């Protein structure tokens, strides 16, 4: 059974991704009910790839996660017809620091300026070596979960001062 164990942090200095190539992502939530699995649709716009992901509720830092590739046209229809505007747009970068791979999400749209780093762990007790650009840990703060962000019509979470917007995703339809 695939297990996801991750920690989530605010990023103090968005310049950590300056000059890096990233993946533009549009993701939406078709189903999410407290205490039950969520159903996420994600499109990697530049790669023309799409995935359907099912995630169990968090238990501490861990949860079950099942991810399947799907046709991109199906993903576009799901985002448009079934995600009810529960959409997040972001660009994801990979940054390696201290032998760890951080996935850094630079959000667009109403969340422009919000920058979050995620670190996948082998187990909940794995030691994390924090690079200087890593800020407050928000793993337990549900406001920073992508589903919570997708529900917000306006950004209620302020970006860390000094963060640049970074490269954003394009606005508009989900069609190529």
* Alpha-carbon gap, residue 90 to 24, rounded angstroms: 6
- CB–CB of 122/99 below 8 Å? no
144 is known as an active-site residue? no
Residue 78 in tokens: 């799901």
* Side-chain-side CA neighbours of residue 127 (13 Å): 3
Which of the 8 DSSP states describes residue 79?
Answer: H
Give residue 78's region: left, alpha or beta (phi > 0; psi -120 to 50): alpha
Annotated active-site residue in 9, 29, 93, 144: 29
Residues 6+ apart with CB under 8 A from 162: 12, 13, 14
109 by Cβ neighbours in 10 Å (0-12 / 13-18 / 19+) ranks as middle
- Enumerate the active-site residues: 29
């Amino acid at each position: 059974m695939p297990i996801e164990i991750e920690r989530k942090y605010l990023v103090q200095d968005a310049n950590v991704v300056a000059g890096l190539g990233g993946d533009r992502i549009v993701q939406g939530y078709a189903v999410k009910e407290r205490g039950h699995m969520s159903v996420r649709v994600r499109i990697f716009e530049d790669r023309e790839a799409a995935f359907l992901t099912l995630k169990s509720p968090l238990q501490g830092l861990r949860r079950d996660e099942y991810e399947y590739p799907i046709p991109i046209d199906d993903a576009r229809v799901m985002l448009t017809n079934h995600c009810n505007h529960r959409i997040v747009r972001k660009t994801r970068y990979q940054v390696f620091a201290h032998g760890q791979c951080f996935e850094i999400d630079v959000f667009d749209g109403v969340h422009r300026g919000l920058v979050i780093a995620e670190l996948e762990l082998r187990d909940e007790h794995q030691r994390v070596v924090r690079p200087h650009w890593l800020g407050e840990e928000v793993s337990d703060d549900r406001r920073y979960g992508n589903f919570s962000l997708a529900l917000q019509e306006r950004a209620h979470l302020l970006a860390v001062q000094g963060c640049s917007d970074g490269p954003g995703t394009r606005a508009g339809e989900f069609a190529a």
